[in-house]
Structure 1
């Protein structure tokens, strides 16, 4: 064991038995969760108004909750165009399609992200190529991406992972140098900023998710595509509705002008999201008040790295990911995996609902390693093998980290986060026990 200073005993610490061994949990069972989304009478009224209005599909002639949501989100992001889709994944795929990405193209994506980032290119018979990520922001590493560019590279998808913007300056320079389309995966980053500009306005297109767990939720699923290019917006609008041109005041002709899908958003979901958008600024302000003090408190514990914010960024705090270093905690010879497994067990016993979220980097997902794709190995078969790069940073993050999701999004989460911090401190006051368990758990 190293000489790294460990927390001294307190009433919360050494004199309090760990809950995993029969002690009282730091977070009482009745105080462990806050609901998300927060559903109010205004939300219910918005849904009933949409039902009573009779415009229950987005291709109804005339304004709907969907068209209103598109207008308001475009204004929020500071862009002229927004196209609503059925979910964040279809928003991402539609953005790629609208920008002309298709069979045989390569699309650079980060090795650490939700699976949809890698699947969206495959839906267009394009090949995802995986770059490593930055160890601090956990977003795409532009230097790793630069090593993967070939004559077949058509686009790059920086992911604003967990709500922290990717380095859009470096991504923009790289894309301009090689003529690449830039599609922001902003599924987790509603309201985040980069150099004073909102995400959703920083690339050729952006894709947001409105899934019920997101900072801006629907009552189910939903997606939003933003762009400043009117031709891209028009193509995306056609693509989401069977390739049909829907003109207000003109009877539907049922003619597919381009390849399209049925990626429309339901007006009921849009109505709920609009009601949530009315409170978004207040909820976001509450998160900016309550989350940084929580992170600052547990950052004092040896061996834990909390999320930080780039000086030019604003973090949306959608997910909080904590990395654990056994050596920094004074546990020489303990593996990061063993340390993480032990903390997972002990923190959950104390009432902190941490989880792994991702269990492997994207390139190791079976859908990519087996190269099943559309069928018979397409789009890989018959094409030159795509470039590959090691992804040790993404692998290390998966191995040594745990996440906190949803509970901290509630505007009244301050007291709950204080209880979570107390639970972390309690576990850290038992580091000799943690070390013994971690050595056995590796």
Structure 2
């Protein structure tokens, strides 16, 4: 049994094998960006066909969406979706307590109030039962997040939404290519938002986002709001008339060109990832006290982030707290060359921006709801808190389609750590 690297032994992951980059940047990406730069059509409101309009068409065709609107980033996509659906002041929007901050900020950007629902302990997605508990007469929309690339329980969410007359906006930032009962995520609700940020499964060279919908009217409303509330039409002179409140959320041509090149290779990348990642997860799934992520039944998981839950008692360390066991394992695995980290350090409702309710000043938009009943046990979210206590994540390195060998080394490191659980227990404060 080899010595742990944290104690001076040889690391399971050779240093020379640790540099697996994401995104993969090939000559096709460079050429696409240079062609866009030389083409002169550098903004999305240029007359005629542009890299942005081509990306919108190709994304819609690849994933089966009726309409696609390219925007500056995924946060803008969520905000524009709410605006297109008329969700604004006086409204509440139910979002999961575990997500990236943008999911909670998007309602605020529209002067609506985010209401946080707890999550499922296995999928880490929003819990439909808790959605129902948090609906009030002010609820206007639900934003389910397909967190880490695993589709949320959309059948139940859609039934709840229909029963209460609510809009559904899918936050699919981490899930392009994921499917739910054979249908692509993003197109299951009224609107769907994707992120093209450089770490995502389909990236751009920086920031970018896409908004999809099957409703032509909603798409048109989003296009208006994307650029100052104007109607921009190919072949018609711009009149600079703002018909509604709008923003400047346009995507530029270089971002679109880069993503088009990445989109062309996505299917090949995804096939490789499904093989290498599932092999890695299968190999370590039997380690006691470790729960690996799985695809919910009837879905395709695209593994944007891999979250592992830990049970010290099941690992033979009943005296260790989940937090200390997690931190001890993270220390050991990082020394072995596995870059384990924590995705989100707290539930969204604990973030200062939501806890202090400063908002736009004078407590708005919350102040507009002062006459409403207080939210249901808004300070609890026990499942979210438990997941954050006893889990850690692997991010980005596994997305490279050539990461199979690296993941094999990661599995070696996990197995090595489990061979030394007595030492891990000492790091976690458990006496021998």
Same fold per TM (> 0.5)? yes
From 382, 392, 401, the counterpart of 2:382: 392
Q: Deviations over 1:240-298 (max 9, x none)?
A: 00001111111111111110000000110000000000100000000111111100111
Does residue 1:263 correspond to 2:249, yes or no?
yes
Match of 1:423 in 2: 413
Report deviation, 1:375. 1.2
Structure 2 counterpart of 1:24: 10
Contact 1:129 1:388 (C-alpha < 8 Å) held by counterparts: no
1:368-395 CA distance string (max 9 Å, x none): 1101111111011141255134311111
Counterparts of residues 128-139 of structure 1 (less than 5 Å): 128-139=114-125
2: distance between equivalents of 1:368 and 1:313?
A: 32
Does residue 58 of the first structure (1) align with residue 44 of the second (2)?
A: yes
* CA offset digits 1:159-202 (Å, max 9, x no partner): 00000000000000000000000000000001000000000110
Is 2:422 aligned against 1:436?
Answer: no
**Corresponding residue number in structure 2 for 1:334:** 320
Structure 1 residue runs without a partner (length 5+):
1-14
> Could you tell me which residue of structure 1 aligns to residue 111 of structure 2?
125
- Please say if residues 129 and 386 of structure 1, whose CA atoms lie closer than 8 Å, have aligned partners that are also in contact: no
Among candidates 366, 375, 378, match of residue 352 of structure 2: 366
Task: Choose from 70, 77, 80 the match for 1:84.
Answer: 70
Alignment partner of 1:285 out of 271, 289, 296: 271
Matches of 1:68 and 1:128, distance apart in 2 = 34
Cα separation, partners in 2 of 1:382 and 1:248, compared to 1, 3 Å: closer
RMSD over aligned Cα, in angstroms? 1.0
- Quick check: 1:194 aligned with 2:180? yes
Residues 326, 424 of structure 1: alpha-carbon distance in 2 compared, 3 angstrom cutoff: same
User: SS in structure 1 opposite 2:134?
Assistant: coil
Q: Which residue of 1 aligns with 2:260?
A: 274
| Structure 1 stretches of at least 4 aligned residues deviating more than 2 Å after TM superposition | none
* 2:128 equivalent to 1:142: yes
- Give the secondary-structure state (helix, strand or coil) at the position aligned to 1:354: coil
Q: Distance in 1 between matches of 2:151 and 2:329?
A: 28
Where does residue 332 of structure 2 map in the other structure?
A: 346
In structure 1, C-alpha distance between the alignment counterparts of 2:19 and 2:305, rounded to whole Å: 15
Distance (whole Å) between structure 2 residues aligned to residue 385 and residue 395 of structure 1: 25
2:273–2:401 Cα contact (<8 Å) kept? yes
Q: Please say if 1:407 is aligned against 2:397.
A: yes
The answer to whether the 8 Å contact 1:338/1:440 transfers is: no
TM-score of the aligned structures, taking structure 2 as reference length: 0.98
SS at match of 2:76: helix
- Find the counterpart in structure 2 of residue 156 from structure 1: 142
Q: Give the alignment partner of residue 99 of structure 1, picking from 85, 88, 105.
A: 85
Q: Tell me the distance in 2 between the aligned counterparts of 1:132 and 1:21.
A: 40
- The alpha-carbon deviation at position 147 of structure 1 amounts to 0.1
Q: Retained in 2: the 8 A contact 1:298–1:425?
A: yes
Q: Are the aligned partners of 1:130 and 1:388 in contact in 2 as well (CA < 8 Å)?
A: no
Structure 2: runs of 5+ lacking an equivalent: none
Q: Deviations over 1:317-349 (max 9, x none)?
A: 100001111011011121000100101111000
Deviations 1:77-97 (A, max 9, x none): 212100000000000100011
Aligned length in residues = 427
> What secondary structure sits across from 1:287 in the alignment?
helix
